Each structure stands twice: as C-alpha cells, then as structure tokens.
Amino acid sequence: MSEIKPKFGDHVVNHVASVGNPHREGVFVCVVRREGKVNRGTWWRCSDTNGNFWETNPSNCSVVRNYHADEVERLEAERDEQKASKDTAYSERDMLVCLISKLFPSHLERHPSSDESWEDDWRWIVFVELPTGQATWHIHDSELSWFDHLQRTDGNTWDGHTTSEKYCRVERIERISSMAQNIASCDANNRLEALAGKLAEALKVLYGWVQAESEHFDANSPDDFIKVDVDTAITAWEERETVKQEREQNG
C-alpha cells in the first residue's frame, strides 16, 4: 500500500486494523525478515514509543513521513560536510606553518590547561619569530609529528599579538623577501651597489615600522637622530644613482 520506504521514526498506519486497536498506529523501528512456513517475508517492526513493539504487514500500511527527522538528517549531513571542509583547510594551513617553522627560529609550547576555551586536542602552539615580530598558530594533536624538528619549551612567551597583528607581520615579510631576490639576481659587479640601494629601501621600511609601532613617536626624540642618518644615506644613494644614469646616457 505504501509507496514510501519508511525511515526510523516515521508514523505508520495499519489500515486493516480496526479503530481502537493499539497496533493500528505506531512508529516505524526497523525491517524484519521472517523465515519459515508461517508469515514468512518482510515485516515492519513498530512501537508505541512506550516500550511496546509489534510487527505488521507492510502491504496493509501507509507511511506518514517524519519531515522533522528528514530535516535533522539533512542538517547533520551538511554539518559533517562543513566540518570535513574546515578540517582540510586547517590541515593545509598547518602544512604551510610547518614550512615557515623551518625557515625562521621557532619552538613549540603547550596552551595553558587552565584556559577551557580550547579543546584538548588543539592545545599545541607553534611559535615563529619572524623578522617582523612573533607569530603563533595552534595545531591539532594529529599534526604534532610534522613539528618534530622543533624544541618543546615550557612557559608563556606569547607577546600578546592579535590575529590581525600576526598576519600584518606576515605581510610585511614580502617586502624584505622581494628586496633579497632582486639583490640575488644581480651579477657580482653590481651586487654591492644593489645591496647598498636595497639597504636604503629597507631602512625606509624600518623607519616606517618604528613610526607605526611606537605610540609615543616624537620628532624630538632620540629616534629622530636615526631618521636623520637614514635620510642622509638615502639622499647620498639617490645622488650617486642620478650621476650614474647621466654618465650612461652621455656615453
């Protein structure tokens, strides 16, 4: 009678049973296959949800789908898919963290057990000392073997940086790396001059960081002396470059 394949929790109605029969309506539990000469075949086991069970012939029944159960099943599948996607993203991120930890001074620390906001399997922290400042990432216990090259230390060496500050420090590295690549691409005769030029650029960047990081930067402070020296070096370099270009143009 029913064209719907029942699922656990669906409402089942036996239309052969008379009204008032306690087995006329129930909740589907599972499929039962009987062997033997009497009542053999497929039957549905049902329950009144009060601990009473019986078996009924599917050909006499109709199913009222428990749409709430379907929605729960759909949401659970969606949740599992999102979790798997998130786990994959974290795993790929931590592979990059592993690479970074081999390029810069790094170590491992354990997140304090007193902080209950972190799950126990996410308490290992990778500390990386970048040229631009400290950066930290939590890793999963299953990935700990990726970081066997790092020393494990006790204590709390976190400098208090936020996630935004961490990735700002990561972004700043790009300028330093670009300068180094440009220098490496020069031939031996020009490498020294290129190094001097890139050093002047690096000093410009460094001075910008001093301004950005210091809340009390004052033009009359001792830091201003550094700025004067940096500006002098940059000016001298630019003047030499101008003279060099003019000579090349004049043959």
Residue 231 pLDDT exceeds 60? no
Stretch 53-60: mean pLDDT? 92
Of the candidate ranges 63-67, 187-191, 203-207, 220-224, the one whose mean pLDDT is the lowest: 220-224
pLDDT at 125: 94
pLDDT tens readout for residues 86-95: 888 888 889 9
Name the residue with tokens 């599948």.
77
* Cα angle value 134/211/176 (rounded, 5°): 50
pLDDT at 128: 93
96: alpha, beta or left? (left if phi > 0; alpha if psi -120 to 50): alpha
pLDDT at 184: 55
33/40 Cα distance (integer angstroms): 7
Residue 14 pLDDT exceeds 80? yes
pLDDT at 214: 47
pLDDT tens readout for residues 114-164: 887 888 888 999 999 988 889 999 999 999 999 999 999 987 788 889 988
Of the candidate ranges 56-65, 197-206, 226-235, the one whose mean pLDDT is the lowest: 226-235
133: alpha, beta or left? (left if phi > 0; alpha if psi -120 to 50): left
Residue 229 has which token pair? 């020296």
Name the residue with tokens 């060496």.
157
Residue 219 pLDDT exceeds 70? no
Residue 92 has which token pair? 């790929």
HSE of 133, CA atoms in CB hemisphere, 13 A: 20
* Cα angle value 210/214/219 (rounded, 5°): 75
pLDDT at 88: 84
Give 64's strand partners.
11
74 pLDDT tier (thresholds 50, 70, 90): confident
pLDDT at 137: 93
pLDDT tens readout for residues 195-209: 556 555 655 555 555
pLDDT tens readout for residues 164-189: 899 888 887 766 555 555 555 555 55
Name the residue with tokens 């003279």.
243
12/15 Cα distance (integer angstroms): 10
Residue 34 pLDDT exceeds 90? no
